[in-house]
Amino acid sequence: MKAIIQRVTAAKVTVGEELISSIGKGLCVLVGISNEDNANDVDWLAKKLLNIRLFEDPTGKRWSQSVLDQQLEILCISQFTLYNRMKGNKPDFSRAMQGAEAQCLYSTLLQKLAAQYEQTKIKDGKFGALMQVHIENDGPVTIEIESPPQSQQELEKLKRATAHKARSKGGPMAESTKEGEGQ
């Protein structure tokens, strides 16, 4: 997962003339999800967003406090265009995760942020919509981060944990996982 993090004094998202979300001082985060991302990437990004130190402390010391420390808000906006590559003069977005799967991971990120912080301080845009993002960049401070690549061992561990969770819940993945185990 990739995030463009902007320290803001205010930010809002509109779709047409409709206000979707707004925040005061905090972070505006553009979130890109690649075809290779999974729950580990969500966990990593949630932890980073809550703990990245982009704010001054009360004595004026820079880069010493996080949104948690100052009880600030976070506005997340899904943005598939972060996973682009140029083919001539035209952007190609084939590295970006598509549709329902991307929306599921994005929703999971929002849920993790809310669970680890305060639900009322986590805002988001409208997934898949043509949005207008209005920000007052503070500083300006803009940071790009990306979750680290995972080893094959980590991916296999996640796959086993997901399959076990599905079997224990008796969910729809339980049957397909059992059928695919011998492959």
86 to each of 38, 83, 90, 91, how far by Cα in Å?
Answer: 25, 10, 6, 5
Q: Token pair for residue 169?
A: 């819940």
Per the CB < 8 A criterion, the answer to whether 77 and 131 are in contact is yes
State the number of CA atoms in the 13 A half-sphere of 112 facing the CB.
19
Per the CB < 8 A criterion, the answer to whether 68 and 51 are in contact is yes
Annotated catalytic residue: which of 6, 55, 79, 177? 79
Residue 59 annotated as catalytic? no
Annotated catalytic residue: which of 6, 55, 80, 177? 80
Residue 9 annotated as catalytic? no
Annotated catalytic residue: which of 81, 98, 119, 132? 81
Per the CB < 8 A criterion, the answer to whether 74 and 110 are in contact is no
Residue 162 annotated as catalytic? no
Beta strands 132-146 and 2-15, pairing class? antiparallel
Burial class (CB in 10 A: 0-12, 13-18, 19+), 124: buried
Report the interhelical angle of 39-51 vs 152-169 (nearest 10°).
100
The closest alpha carbon to 126, from 72, 76, 83, belongs to 76
Name the residues annotated as catalytic: 79-81
